[in-house]
Structure 1
Amino acid sequence: MANTIDLFCWPKKDDLQSFSPHCLAVMAYSQFSKASVRVHKCARLQQYTASLPVAYNNGKMIEGMESVFTFMRSQGWNADYGLSEKQQADTLAFEALVKDKLEPAILHLQFVNAENFSNCVRGYYANACSFPWNFYIPGRLQKRAQLTLSALQPTSNRKSDLPDSSLQKKVITEARHCLSLLSKFLHDKEFLFGDSPRTMDAVLYGYLAFLLKSNLPNNVLCAHIRGCPNLNRFVCHVDDQFMKSVPKASTTDASVIIPRLSLSDDRKAQLKVLASIGIGVTAMLAYALLSGIISITLEDDPDADYVTFSVDNRCDDTQHEETTDNSQQ
Structure 2
Amino acid sequence: MSEVLSQNEIDALLQALNSGEVDVQEIKEESEERKVKKYDFRNPQKIAKDQLRTLEIIYDNFGRLTQTFLSGYLRSPVNIEILTVDQYAYSEFSNAISNPAFLSIIDFKPLSGQIIMDISTKTAFAMIDRLLGGKGKGITAQRSFTEIELVLLKKIVNRLLNLMAQAWENVIDIRPTLDKVETNPQFAQIISPNETIALVTMNITIEDVEGMINICIPHITIETILDKLSTKLWFSAAQQEVTKDDIKAIENRLKKAKVTLKAEIGAAKLTIGELLDLDIGDVIKLDSKYGDEIKIKLGSNVKYFGTPGKKNNKLAVKISRIKKDGEDIDEQ
TM interval, short-chain normalised? under 0.3
Bigger fraction of residues in strand? 2
- Larger-gyration structure (1/2): 2
TM-score where L is the length of structure 1:
0.22
Which gives a bigger RCO, structure 1 or 2 (Cα 8 Å, sep 6+)?
Answer: 1
